[in-house]
A and B are shown apart, each in its own frame.
Chain A
């Protein structure tokens, strides 16, 4: 893996965070800290506020209470374009590419904040990392398969060599093999090279495999948090997220 694709991480902290739409809190009183070199995953049932939490961290959903910080800098309610300049790369769960734009144009938009003369070399670096994208540079993003599209979405955020990666269900709708490769090879790889990774993942087992810390969200609140090996011993967690059978193994 090319080290230069992402930068050494920064600490991303949410403190007592409440966020939601039209003044109505979807997540309430959430505390999360993602540190460099680690993958922090957030799991929970549908509607528990996982995506809303991530969106509030990157400025897409308003924070109603509490703070968001990068290192010591308070970035609460910063505009998304401002958050991007601070080295935070965000891949949403859906609508993660620009469908009418070609793969190359998607990457160029990913590198929008770069000096013009650096864009081509960054694209080369991203293509080294995702060589399959090379063959489809002139293809419109809307025509890509699920896996290719996710690769492009990741490639787009890597254009700015982010120090913090915020990923919302990156394996959604992917074939199991592709999903495993994405999680274990790429996403874990970013953390191993020093980046900070905050990940929402529906498949708890897979998330636990690559995480250093996991938070369980329920009803918009953190109901459980811990290292994966501890959570795997928690009967309630096992029953709810790993399937009852796992507890008996």
Chain B
């Protein structure tokens, strides 16, 4: 049951990250492999403020802002110029991979290779449904629940959310309907970047100790969760994150935790082989 609790925490962080990741992919058509790098950079910015005495939960705001601004800037100054040149989609993927390496190792060059941790109280322990969860973990779960509810509300009930879904489904038709898709895409980078920054910061808090390269393999978890739920399907991403989070942590109880990403990778390969459009996706999405 304790591994279930760990799984739930992993799933919560992964859900926020994957929803942002898949939103970027769906609306902007960019498979942003630099996502993990933006996550960890956001975590370090939040950590910087925490190190200088700010409450860890308040530093989340700075993680969110950095994630949003950096993601927006990446789109504006890196991905969009490449997309405008009508190059093969793989070119943008390779560019994203390059950005990931620069972001991660550039950060490492700045902060060094050592481990750091947030100064945050775990709070008292709660015994819920057979799981032991700390106060901090419950706050993270609550943040996850609130964020996912807000994302649902955004996509389902707001003009912007509907325009995002329309742009994702058929950008030309959206433009013919009067939707300014470039503005929608920019806003999507801001929102998904904010989710990326938030996920990165709570990932670092939840992990305990972290370093500049801690999120390097996180992209495997993100891809597995996204392809499990269906590329470009935010609700699929939530489902995928829950499944991958639980599967990796429960498997860690039986095999070495070092193989967590391998479990995610096996799921990813399985989905790509048998159902590349995911459980919630359709062949059209694929």
Contact = CB atoms under 8 A, between A and B. Distances in A.
Contacts of B177: 81, 84, 109-110, 112-113, 156
Interface residues of B, number: 20
Given A98-B169, A101-B166, A142-B284, A112 B178 contact: yes
A233 B180 CA distance: 47
Nearest to A90: B176
B181 A81 contact: yes
B255 to A, nearest CB: 38
A110 B178 CA distance: 8
A92 B173 contact: yes
A101 to B, nearest CB: 6
Given A112-B159, A116-B159, A142-B282, A98 B173 contact: yes
B176 A160 contact: no
Interface string A141-173: 010000000000000100010000000000000
Nearest to A85: B178
A85 to B, nearest CB: 6
A152 to B, nearest CB: 12
Contact of A109 (B179, B180, B282): B179
Contacts of A110: 177
Contacts of A80: 172, 175-176
B165 interface: yes
Given A81-B181, A108-B162, A112-B177, A98 B170 contact: yes
Given A81-B179, A85-B178, A100 B172 contact: no
B131 interface: no
Contacts of B282: 99, 142
Contacts, number: 73
A99 B284 contact: yes
Contacts of A105: 162, 165-166
B173 A84 contact: no
Contacts of A156: 177
25 contacts: A58-B176, A59-B175, A80-B172, A80-B175, A81-B175, A81-B176, A81-B180, A81-B181, A84-B175, A90-B176, A98-B170, A98-B173, A99-B170, A99-B284, A100-B168, A101-B165, A101-B166, A101-B169, A105-B162, A109-B162, A109-B179, A110-B177, A112-B163, A116-B159, A156-B177
Which 5 pairs, one residue from A and one from B, show the smallest C-beta to C-beta distance?
A: A80-B175, A113-B178, A84-B178, A98-B169, A109-B166
Given A80-B176, A81-B181, A116-B159, 9 more contacts: A80-B175, A81-B180, A84-B176, A90-B176, A98-B174, A108-B162, A109-B163, A109-B177, A112-B159
